[in-house]
Structure 1
């Protein structure tokens, strides 16, 4: 599961996201199905990648309106943390803020064990990795 933060939601940004996603999920193999909302830019980007040969033609694209609601529902706690802010001024500040919030939330979900198997305190590893470039 991946997400992309971009200033526009068009075919070029969707294509850029879809090209970089397989690199981060190489351990799981190529996707069989891509679930997206009904944004036409995503469908166009997948069609272009299939035509270019950068995406397997066997990949099925499902336009499902409510399937991603469970994933997107996790943004509620993010909105509570951010408070009454209307948004971010630049993508850089959005990235840094969201990285910090997710890094602080990951230990509560038990994600430290995945990144630091056998480490005495895996939560420390997550926070160190997130804030290494801050």
Structure 2
């Protein structure tokens, strides 16, 4: 994964972690590393986040603890290039992160795509709680029909408070930034922020003594 890079693995992972864990710009991370005697251009750090976040996300699903079978599913708005994009997210009834997916549109197909990803990584839930979104309801119905499944669903607003509150962690992290310029960059950066949240929620099997060490252990 880290072969043919000018900088060692420890430096690369430290730069990526700083960007994903804290509300810092790429230039902020560049300055922090320079204080420590490491001179790296901010554009290089951006390329590292872009390259390594999907690889770490793939590993995290192999080590994430099993979530319970009662899910809370919702979507929130994210600005990308000045346009509204939709971040689908789900947590279980205890607040553990199940999965996430950034989409360009809020449609039945988007909800179904998210369900395919979430169920593929976590197994079939017994029931999914959603808000009044017709797209989410239709997405579940379509998933059941196409996959010959019987995932139950219900619409109860107060039960979705837990996932709506969980959205705030993501929204707070990006609120003071200049925003995302491209969809792919937003997708990968948001995935990295979600990875850090999963680690902080202690959802990783064989987690290390600190979040940083656990993050490093996922980059194998």
Q: Secondary structure at the match of 1:51?
A: helix
How far the C-alpha of 1:23 sits from its partner, in A, is 1.5
**CA-CA distance at 1:12 after TM superposition:** 0.9
Show the counterpart of 2:206: 116
Deviations 1:98-121 (Å, cap 9, x if unpaired)?
23334445554434xx3335x566
Aligned to 1:6: 103
What are the ranges of 5 or more consecutive residues in structure 1 without an aligned counterpart? none
Query: What is the aligned counterpart of 1:79 among 171, 174, 177?
Result: 171
CA distance in 1, matches of 2:128, 2:200: 29
Q: Secondary structure at the match of 2:128?
A: strand
When the two chains are superposed, the root-mean-square deviation of aligned CA atoms in Å is 2.9
1:85-100 equivalent positions in 2, closer than 5 A: 85=177, 87-100=179-192
| 1:66 paired residue number | 158
- Answering whether residue 34 of structure 2 is matched by residue 34 of structure 1, we say no
Structure 2 unmatched ranges of 5 or more:
1-97
Give the match for residue 24 of structure 1: 121
TM-score by length of 2: 0.46
Distance 1:84 1:55, change over 3 A: farther
**Per-residue deviation, residues 16-67 of structure 1 (Å, max 9, x unmatched):** 11122221113xxx21101112111111122222222x1423x211112232
Q: Distance in 2 between matches of 1:25 and 1:107?
A: 16
Q: How many residues of Structure 1 are paired with residues of Structure 2 in the alignment?
A: 123
Q: Could you tell me how far apart the structure 2 residues matched to 1:68 and 1:105 are?
A: 19
